[in-house]
Structure 1
Amino acid sequence: MAGGRKERSGQLSGRGSRIAAAVGIGVLAGCIFAFLFPHGLVPSKLPTEIRPLKSNIEVDSSSCESSEKINLLKADIRKISDKNVELKRTVRELNEKLRLAEQGKGRAQEQIMVLGEPHKAGPFGTVKGLRTNPTVIPDENVNPRLAKILSKIAVNKELIVAIANSNVKWMLEVWFTSIKKLGIPNYLVVALDDGILEFCKSNDVPVYQRDPDEVIDSVGKIGGNHAVSGLKFRVLREFLQLGYGVLLSDVDIVYLQNPFDHLYRDSDVESMSDGHNNMTAYGYNDVFDEPSMGWASRLARENAWDQAVFNEELFFPSHPGYIGLHAAKRTMDHYLFMNSKVLFKTVRKDPNLKKLMPVIVHVNYHPDKLPRMKAVVEFYINGKKDALDPFPDGSE
């Protein structure tokens, strides 16, 4: 029995040694395989350690491309700037050629009027007037200082011009405040004394003071409204000689819309009317005499009032010993370019007319100008519905 156990024990011992050897070989083989193929036989993705390197390469490449693009853009900008300078030079040359062409056009039109073929009258109601209306050739030698100012202020060669001395200082303030509120940049005050010059400068208002002039100085510094108003045509001449279109404005006007948006530009003169209806505004060239307004304004001294002289020069026909202006004329809508008689006698009493927004209101019929101007501002700009109610129709 003892001999049999020893033999079995030896057999078990030999089998265990073989198993141990096999396990050892397997472990060794596994280590070798792991060493040779750390990511398996078919790696599913690239090593993570390489990814940052790839990312860095992409960033560096993108950075290089951006730098090249920036350099190309800078080169393009330089080319565009050079072309812009060249275009500006070309525009200046074209403008000069256009000016010369317009000069020739004016002369050609005069010849056409003399030598051109006669025009037949068309059907009733279809005939329009033929006008030359030649372009004015600017002459900066007339007033180089004014020419420099206008080149900075005017828009499309147009601007509003008012003439003022210290007698109308507070009306002038309402005047330019309404213009500023609308954002109109092209306006200018012609100061007739030092007080208005400084007042405009302190309020950032474009202002111009003429060189000493015996006639203008004597009237401008001490004259009343009518005397000062009579100077405007003398002053206006220089603006026209410099080639500018002028909206000549009194200072007793409140601006409610930009007037340049409502001009027709089809006539030599576009003017508002002192008339109060279709007949008096568009068909009658005298001043209406109505005692109910508190004062009679028939032209007893016609040569003393600028409006009367203006009407005479503009409307009087040619006759023996006199050659008329032959100027084309347009009268503006009296509800848009409204005088104070239309406003206080008609518009404020009509619910429908009160809804209209005028372009301007000219307080020309009433001597209490400043309070009425302020009332116009309150009514149309600030929306105070009863602002016009306290005033009488006339000036009583």
Structure 2
Amino acid sequence: MRKRGDGGWSQRAGSVLSTRYGLEVAFSILVGVLMGALWSFFNPRCYTTTSIALDKLQHLNSELTTLREENIELKVHLKRAEQERDAALKQRESLGLVKKVGPVGTVKSLRTQPLVQPNEDANPKLAEILSKVAPDKELVVGIANNNVRSMVNIWFSSLKRAGVSNYLLVALDDQIAHFCKSNQVPFYRRDATIAAIQKDTGDNHAISGLKFHLLREFLELGYSVLLSDVDILFFQNPFLHLYRDCDVESMSDGYNNQTAYGYDDVSDDPKMGWARYAHTMRIWVFNSGLFYIRPTIPSIELLDRVTSRLSKEKAWDQAVFNEELFRPSHPGYEGLHASLRVMDYYLFMNSKVMFTIVRKDANFDGFLPVALHVNYHPDKYERMLALINYFVNGKKDALKAFPDGSEWR
């Protein structure tokens, strides 16, 4: 009985102490609140000062963002000015008076062709739009209809995120034009007629074939164009990574130094005996979905040639584009004399490079391409979303579910 009495007393004592402790805590909180209220009453400027400091901090962050964007623009201007100066010097040397050949290693031929004289009368409507969108006479151009609206949204969002303001979408129907307008995306509404022979090649290929005809309008007005399909993501400002020293500067479908930049491929014909081995030069094709083209005579001739062939042949536009670029003059045919440059295949990356090499190599951790074209895979939209998660949101497992290649349905 005594033990039970002791236990009951202990429980009652604990309850009293707990209640007392709770009252002390409540009293302390009340005192703190009252002191805070008194401090606020007698020192109202304290909170005002904090609010002003926060406003100033937000304003400084906004100014810092603006300065960063202006700094990128200045870098682009400076790079372009240096490139134009070098090109002008080379043109003057090449087109000047005939002179003797210099020492070995000093002789350089002309690669940067002079620009055409702009003809604003050719398309006053487009000229007015471009004067506002691209004051520096160069811009990113995409071409799309409403069937690819979801990818268009990702495309222009990536351009904005990369700090690119000089871009334009050629809208092929009213729906995509309205979509651009509602999202404050510069657009040029253009009706385009698909050649009868191209109508059954599939919507994507048919529209892709139109771009060569449409691009001519930009070049004729004196604008350089970075043509971009809408299955491309931009992670950096591409105009900081162009050389502008050739008529056409294009990304490659290649996946290493050999396939992207060219290599000596040996063909074996055993029946020839001693002469069984023949050396060939090979290069994987330029990608017609992402290339920079300057307003020069060879460039416009290229567009005219491709457009003419696609109006008569049931052919893939990328194949025709490359044939006209690379096929040399021969009996019965005069080749195109255009200067060419292959873009860095890691900076201007295709999706084969991304999914078979880059995502698996730890050496690429932290690497950020300039642009990435989802050209090797049909599930474009899903991969584009995953690539944004991978590069922008830092989710390194975002690409794990995708196979290297394509699973055609």
Q: TM-score, normalised by structure 2?
A: 0.62
Superposition deviation, residue 156 in structure 1: 1.2
| Equivalent residue for 2:124, pick from 120, 138, 144 | 144
| Equivalent residue for 2:340, pick from 329, 336, 345 | 329
State whether structure 2 residue 184 is matched by structure 1 residue 173. no
Conservation of the 8 A alpha-carbon contact between 1:303 and 1:309: no
What value does the CA root-mean-square deviation take over the aligned residues? 2.9
| Equivalent residue for 2:322, pick from 289, 301, 311 | 311
The residue type equivalent to 2:220 in the other structure is Q
The change in CA–CA distance for 1:266 and 1:110 in structure 2 (over 3 A counts) is closer
Give the length in aligned residue pairs.
275
Identity among equivalent pairs (%): 62
Cα distance between partner residues in 1 of 2:141 and 2:331: 36
| Equivalent residue for 2:139, pick from 121, 142, 159 | 159
- The higher-RCO structure (CA 8 Å, 6+ apart) is 2
Superposition deviation, residue 195 in structure 1: 1.3
The change in CA–CA distance for 1:359 and 1:111 in structure 2 (over 3 A counts) is closer
Superposition deviation, residue 354 in structure 1: 3.4
Superposition deviation, residue 181 in structure 1: 1.4
Q: Secondary structure at the match of 2:148?
A: helix
Conservation of the 8 A alpha-carbon contact between 1:163 and 1:232: yes
Cα distance between partner residues in 2 of 1:331 and 1:277: 12
| Equivalent residue for 1:366, pick from 371, 374, 377 | 377
Q: TM-score, normalised by structure 1?
A: 0.64
Cα distance between partner residues in 1 of 2:121 and 2:155: 31
Cα distance between partner residues in 2 of 1:174 and 1:218: 31
State whether structure 2 residue 172 is matched by structure 1 residue 192. yes
Superposition deviation, residue 112 in structure 1: 6.4
Q: Secondary structure at the match of 1:352?
A: helix
The residue type equivalent to 1:271 in the other structure is S
- The answer for the alignment partner of 2:181 in structure 1 is 201
The residue type equivalent to 2:315 in the other structure is A
The change in CA–CA distance for 1:287 and 1:138 in structure 2 (over 3 A counts) is closer
Which has the larger share of strand? 2
- The answer for the alignment partner of 1:89 in structure 2 is none
Conservation of the 8 A alpha-carbon contact between 1:175 and 1:253: yes
State whether structure 2 residue 104 is matched by structure 1 residue 123. yes
Superposition deviation, residue 150 in structure 1: 0.1
State whether structure 2 residue 215 is matched by structure 1 residue 236. yes
Cα distance between partner residues in 1 of 2:364 and 2:103: 38
Q: Secondary structure at the match of 2:403?
A: coil
- The answer for the alignment partner of 2:297 in structure 1 is none
| Equivalent residue for 2:237, pick from 255, 258, 269 | 258
Cα distance between partner residues in 1 of 2:399 and 2:364: 14
- The answer for the alignment partner of 2:37 in structure 1 is none
| Equivalent residue for 2:227, pick from 241, 245, 248 | 248
Cα distance between partner residues in 2 of 1:277 and 1:112: 34
Conservation of the 8 A alpha-carbon contact between 2:118 and 2:220: yes
Cα distance between partner residues in 1 of 2:227 and 2:211: 8
Q: Which has the larger radius of gyration?
A: 1
Superposition deviation, residue 199 in structure 1: 1.0
Structure 2: 5+ residue runs without aligned partners? 1-83, 263-281, 287-312
Deviation beyond 2 Å, 4+ runs, structure 1: 109-113, 115-124, 126-132, 212-220, 284-288
Cα distance between partner residues in 2 of 1:185 and 1:376: 22
Superimposed CA distance per residue, residues 30-66 of structure 1 (whole angstroms, 9 cap, x where no aligned partner): xxxxxxxxxxxxxxxxxxxxxxxxxxxxxxxxxxxxx
Cα distance between partner residues in 2 of 1:362 and 1:214: 26
Superimposed CA distance per residue, residues 305-351 of structure 1 (whole angstroms, 9 cap, x where no aligned partner): 11111111111111222222211111011010000000000000100
Matching of residues 1-396 of structure 1 within 5 Å: 116-117=97-98, 120=101, 122-123=103-104, 127-131=107-111, 133-210=113-190, 212-215=191-194, 224-283=203-262, 284-286=282-284, 304-396=315-407
Superimposed CA distance per residue, residues 261-299 of structure 1 (whole angstroms, 9 cap, x where no aligned partner): 1001111111111100111111134459xxxxxxxxxxx
Q: Secondary structure at the match of 2:334?
A: coil
Cα distance between partner residues in 1 of 2:192 and 2:250: 28
